[in-house]
């Protein structure tokens, strides 16, 4: 991973104070998404981690994980599986709960999205507290998938979210 690429991506992340509520410094990736060179560079970072591995499917978390995960799946020629907030998928689903600062939430995945023994990489834009990613890992494992790694464009290290994913390997490209 070239440090100049990482620094260009870091420069493309916009800090938005007090969003979605007071006291939060939101890391906005929309400038990266709207710049074709930066978007390609971000996808290439994920691809570097995946190339040469036997991967059957990429799983992306609602909603920005869809943007990165589907592009990675396309480039690798593998399937893409969306994990969504509860109530958004039309077919029968498996559900996993996770904690928020202000309560509980649920993620879901179609029951037939992953076959037993498939090799899975989880992709999302940001790892914060790890709640949604941990719920996604539970869904992948319930389906019989083998979670090889969880990958994130950004990791907020001070929130220690990777602990929620243990023993899964975690990769992140921009650390704050």
Residue 22, SS3 per DSSP: coil
Residues carrying an active site annotation = 64, 101
- The per-residue DSSP string of 137-169 comes to HHHHHHTT-EEEEEEEEEE-GGG-GGGGGTTSE
Tokens of 41: 């560079």
Estimate the share of the chain in helix, then strand, then coil, as percent rounded to the nearest 5. Answer: 35, 35, 30
Could you count the other beta carbons within 10 Å of the beta carbon of residue 138? Answer: 18
Measure Cα distances from 169 to 52, 79, 151, 166 in Å: 17, 21, 9, 7
Q: Rounded to a whole number, what is the largest CA-CA distance in the chain?
A: 45
């Amino acid at each position: 991973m070239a440090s100049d690429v990482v620094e260009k991506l870091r420069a493309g992340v916009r800090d938005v104070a007090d969003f979605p509520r007071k006291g939060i410094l939101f890391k906005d990736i929309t400038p990266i998404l709207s710049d074709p060179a930066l978007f390609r560079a971000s996808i290439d970072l994920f691809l570097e981690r995946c190339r040469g591995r036997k991967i059957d499917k990429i799983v992306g978390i609602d909603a920005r994980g869809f943007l990165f995960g589907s592009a990675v799946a396309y480039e690798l020629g593998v399937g893409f599986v969306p994990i969504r907030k509860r109530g958004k998928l039309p077919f029968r689903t498996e559900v996993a709960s996770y904690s928020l600062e202000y309560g509980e939430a649920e993620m879901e995945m179609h029951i037939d999205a992953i076959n037993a023994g498939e090799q899975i990489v989880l992709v999302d834009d940001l790892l914060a507290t790890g709640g949604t990613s941990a719920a996604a890992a539970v869904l992948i494992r319930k389906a019989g998938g083998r979670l090889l790694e969880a990958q994130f464009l950004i990791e907020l290290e001070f929130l220690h979210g990777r602990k929620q994913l243990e023993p899964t390997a975690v990769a992140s490209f921009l650390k704050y």
